[in-house]
Amino acid sequence: MTRILFYLEDYSHDIWRDSLLKVAPNIEFRSYPDWGTPSDGPAYAFVWEPKPGLLAKYPNIKAVFSLGAGVDHLTRDPDLPPNLPIIRMGDDGLREGMAEFVAMSVLMHHRGIPSMITKQRNKDWGRFFAPAAKHVRVGILGFGALGQVAAKTLLPFGYKVAAWSRTEKEPVEGITLHHGADSLDAFISDTDILVGLLPSTAETQGLLNKKRLSLLPKGASIVNAGRGTLIVLDDLKALMEEGHIAGATLDVFPEEPLPRDHPLWGLDNLIITPHIAAITRPDTAAEYVMRNIARIEQGNAPENLLDANRGY
């Protein structure tokens, strides 16, 4: 019998158990802390932000499914057993959620909504006349599962969409593609609304520092829904205060929750969302996890297996 060891704080485990049992009625679903003992036999972990050291206590775990696309919540555990296969989430629900969030955020910055929220607080009728979408350049950092769906979602509005990835991609109609570290500065210079959809890795941490953020044209905006480590927040704050960057939407932060005394909370033209851009949805995720357990059991590689060398 397939045994699943489930860990998630702040959310009903019953919904997840019901969704998994609907797809696979014969599994054994064990909700933390009722994980039993390693001698109970082989198991798969399905977890989000497990306590450091927890996975190491269960050598019977054959593979770990991340409840999200990101795996930094696992790899930062110093006791994570080496060679434990980690599978990243890649269900349709995550892609749909991110497409909604990116479309909403890009439209808001294009139409000047963050500055209007600031003006509203001051009872200021100051109007903002937005350019036509066809004159707005949206640049997406990351052209993986989420970057691709976000880019395609923006096309029908008429935006000029470009995307940047680590490796070269097959051409996609309507999207200008760039890759590699050498092309990043030119990519940023040509962007009016920059969207971060990158994983947190040694290469992406601090990538958007003062030097790079200053390359954005004056009046540009930023949306970050990848990982908070991408942006040096003090540099972003300084450039927003001096008016070089007109607005930002940040869904992810180096420290979450964002501390209550953090200066970003009071910054004009900044929208803060509490890491909700794309939440894994139980119905689609249950199907994804059970499909991939079947692949592993049949001796095949699962989808979206973490490549430890790349870090995503």
| Interface contacts to ligand NAP, rule CB under 6 A | 68-70, 94, 98, 142-147, 165-167, 197-201, 203-204, 225-227, 251-252, 275, 277-278, 312
Catalytic residue among 17, 88, 109, 227: 227
* Alpha-carbon dihedral angle through residues 143, 145, 148, 154, given to the nearest 10 degrees: -120
Which does residue 192 bind out of ligand GLV, ligand NAP, none, counting CB within 5 to 8 angstroms by kind?
none
**Nearest residue (CB) to ligand NAP, 90 versus 112:** 90
Which does residue 166 bind out of ligand NAP, ligand GLV, none, counting CB within 5 to 8 angstroms by kind?
ligand NAP
Contact (CB, 8 A) for 4 and 27: yes
Which does residue 226 bind out of ligand NAP, ligand GLV, none, counting CB within 5 to 8 angstroms by kind?
ligand NAP
The side-by-side arrangement of strands in the sheet containing 61-66 is 28-31, 3-7, 43-47, 61-66, 86-87
Copy the structure tokens of residue 213: 């953020």
Shortest distance, position 34 Cβ to ligand NAP, whole Å: 28
- The dihedral built from the CA positions of residue 128, 272, 93 and 172, taken in this order, carries a sign that is positive
The H or E element that residue 138 is part of is strand 137-141
- The dihedral built from the CA positions of residue 125, 129, 130 and 132, taken in this order, carries a sign that is positive
Nearest CA among 3, 64, 7 for reference residue 28: 3
Contact (CB, 8 A) for 210 and 239: yes
Q: Measure the N-to-C terminal CA separation of the chain; round to a whole number of Å.
A: 30
**Nearest residue (CB) to ligand NAP, 30 versus 227:** 227
**Nearest residue (CB) to ligand GLV, 68 versus 114:** 68
Residue 310 a catalytic site member: no
Residue 179 a catalytic site member: no
Shortest distance, position 194 Cβ to ligand NAP, whole Å: 13
Which does residue 287 bind out of ligand NAP, ligand GLV, none, counting CB within 5 to 8 angstroms by kind?
none
Catalytic residue among 73, 166, 275, 281: 275
Shortest distance, position 189 Cβ to ligand GLV, whole Å: 28
Active site members: 227, 275
